[in-house]
Amino acid sequence: MSTFLQNTQKIIEEAAEISGTNPGILAKLQIPEHVWEFEIPVMMSDGSEKKFHAWRVQHNSALGPYKGGIRYHQDSSLDEVSALASLMTWKTSLAGLPYGGGKGAVKVDSKTLNEMELENLSRGYVRGIFKYIGQKMDIPAPDVNTNPKIMDWMADEYSKLAGVWTPAAFTGKSVEKGGSRGREIATGFGGYVVLRELLANNQLPVTGLSVAIQGFGNVGSNIAKILFEKGFKIRAISDSKGALYEKNGIDVEMVLKVKEKTGIIDRKKCYGVESHDEPCRHLTNEDLLFSDVDILIPAAMEDQITLENADRVKAKIILELANGPVTREADAILEKHKIEVIPDILANSGGVVGSYFEWMQSLEEKYWSEARVLEKIDDKLCEAFDGVVSTKAEYQVSWRMASYIRAMLRVSRAMDLAQKKRSS
């Protein structure tokens, strides 16, 4: 079993024990309700056919239809998708949404495909899983290396197979194709809301604090932009090619401008600006984690802060915008150093909350302004944050444990009620 899945199972067991969850229910929560594993035959541009391995894991549906992203990554595995699907059950529960948890993945290095091959692969994924997804059954969304264009292809393929336009079967679509304003920035925006609430809770100022962000994709670049605008000092950023550090603060607007042209890591110029060579410097991806900052935001992949390197983290707050970036063993070390870790299921839940509002709009085919969507995400996350604060005080546990206990109580109550209904 992978470390990521082991960690997910461990935290569920611990939360079940502390919350007094019935062992029968815990046993059901430790295995997914359904696992779909299939091959996608894809017509390549040279006329050959290539097969790609794919999964959809449906973890739990006690609170509603399964909800969760689809990831394209060369290292994806069934263990990874299972852990991510389980995280979605806890995330949707904690946010008070009428959803269960699911996740999908294709084992592919999508950068090696051209646009036509990527479209064939995305449509093929939908054909492989069509019978088991749908607007009231399982609603996928984007994740690592998937984006609104891919969701548009998927929603279109689904609608063709269903014989009727069904935009609510996918979220994270482009606004032009029935997506929601504000959905693209929802995860980063939600991360900011949770951080703002935490700083207020800790009676710390909301501006001027220094930050390091690992990952500069959808989530990392959006949180960087928001925090930069709010007056935080973004000292370090990275993508899969490496990291940049500037003690006085990186000009995120400038990085965003050069990102498409040169990528954020330009060996000669830091981020496209010659004059930033000093004091701007390059770091390895791992070294970014040990930067001298107040807040560390992992926004790339799982298993980044581990037993081996947790001792070297200098930040006082870790905001988990990636899923599973801190292992359970690392958690114990960070706790010993009094570093507050705001867990993924709370910190990055702005994405699924944004998806929920997109789903509502798609079902009604009535669309809201960005300001309205962001205001609703803000309210929902404040409610979730306040809930975790009260559970934390009641059980005297860490942010992660309080979040899991709260999420588990809601899911296990729903499972208990369903069991009673069946036996009456």
Q: Is 107 a catalytic residue?
A: no
H or E segment and range at residue 138: strand 138-142
What is the Cα–Cα distance from 191 to 378, expressed in whole angstroms? 10
Under rule CB under 6 A, residue 309 binds ligand NAD: no
Nearest approach in angstroms of CB 220 to ligand NAD is 6
Q: Which residues contact 310 (CB under 8 A, 6 or more apart)?
A: 326, 329, 330, 333, 334
Q: At what angle do helices 350-364 and 78-94 cross, to 10 degrees?
A: 80
Please pick, from the candidates 80, 143, 152, 197, the single residue that binds ligand NAD as defined by CB under 6 A.
Answer: 143
Helix (H, G, I), strand (E, B) or coil at 365: coil
Count of residues engaged in binding ligand NAD, rule: CB under 6 A: 24
Sheet holding 340-342, edge to edge: 281-283, 242-245, 233-239, 210-214, 295-298, 317-319, 340-342
Question: Of the two residues 29 and 185, which places its CB atom closer to ligand NAD in the complex?
Answer: 185
What is the Cα–Cα distance from 207 to 210, expressed in whole angstroms? 9
Query: Residue 220: phi, psi to the nearest 5?
Result: -65, -40
Please pick, from the candidates 240, 248, 284, 369, the single residue that binds ligand NAD as defined by CB under 6 A.
Answer: 240
Under rule CB under 6 A, residue 122 binds ligand NAD: no
Nearest approach in angstroms of CB 160 to ligand NAD is 25
In a 10 Å sphere around its CB, with 0-12 CB exposed, 13-18 middle and 19+ buried, how is residue 50 labelled? middle
Tell which positions 357-416 bind ligand NAD, by CB under 6 A.
none
Under rule CB under 6 A, residue 191 binds ligand NAD: no
Please pick, from the candidates 80, 119, 157, 239, the single residue that binds ligand NAD as defined by CB under 6 A.
Answer: 239
Tell which positions 53-72 bind ligand NAD, by CB under 6 A.
none
Under rule CB under 6 A, residue 142 binds ligand NAD: yes
CA distances from 94 to 90, 346, 394 (A): 6, 7, 16
Please pick, from the candidates 102, 178, 179, 351, the single residue that binds ligand NAD as defined by CB under 6 A.
Answer: 351
Count of alpha carbons within 13 angstroms of residue 148, beta-carbon side: 16
Tally Cβ neighbours within 10 Å of residue 331. Answer: 23
Nearest approach in angstroms of CB 416 to ligand NAD is 28
Question: Going residue by residue from 200 to 219, which x/- string records binding to ligand NAD, judged by CB under 6 A?
Answer: --------------xxxxxx
Please pick, from the candidates 86, 93, 348, 398, the single residue that binds ligand NAD as defined by CB under 6 A.
Answer: 348
Nearest approach in angstroms of CB 424 to ligand NAD is 38
> 3-state SS of 29-75?
HCCCCEEEEEEEEEECCCCCEEEEEEEEEEEECCCCCEEEEEEEECC
Q: At what angle do helices 252-262 and 218-229 cross, to 10 degrees?
A: 150
Under rule CB under 6 A, residue 322 binds ligand NAD: yes
Nearest approach in angstroms of CB 288 to ligand NAD is 7
Nearest approach in angstroms of CB 186 to ligand NAD is 7
Catalytic residue among 91, 103, 173, 233: 103
Which residue type sits at 34? H
| Span of 142-150, 266-274, 333-341, 393-401 interacting with ligand NAD by CB under 6 A | 142-150
Q: Tell me the residue ranges of DSSP E strands in 279-418.
A: 281-283, 295-298, 317-319, 340-342
Cβ-closest position to ligand NAD = 217
| Span of 23-31, 229-237, 306-314, 321-329 interacting with ligand NAD by CB under 6 A | 321-329
Under rule CB under 6 A, residue 89 binds ligand NAD: no
**Which sequence positions are flagged as catalytic?**
103
Q: Which residue ranges make up the site for ligand NAD (CB under 6 A)?
A: 142-145, 187, 214-220, 238-240, 285, 299-301, 321-323, 348, 351
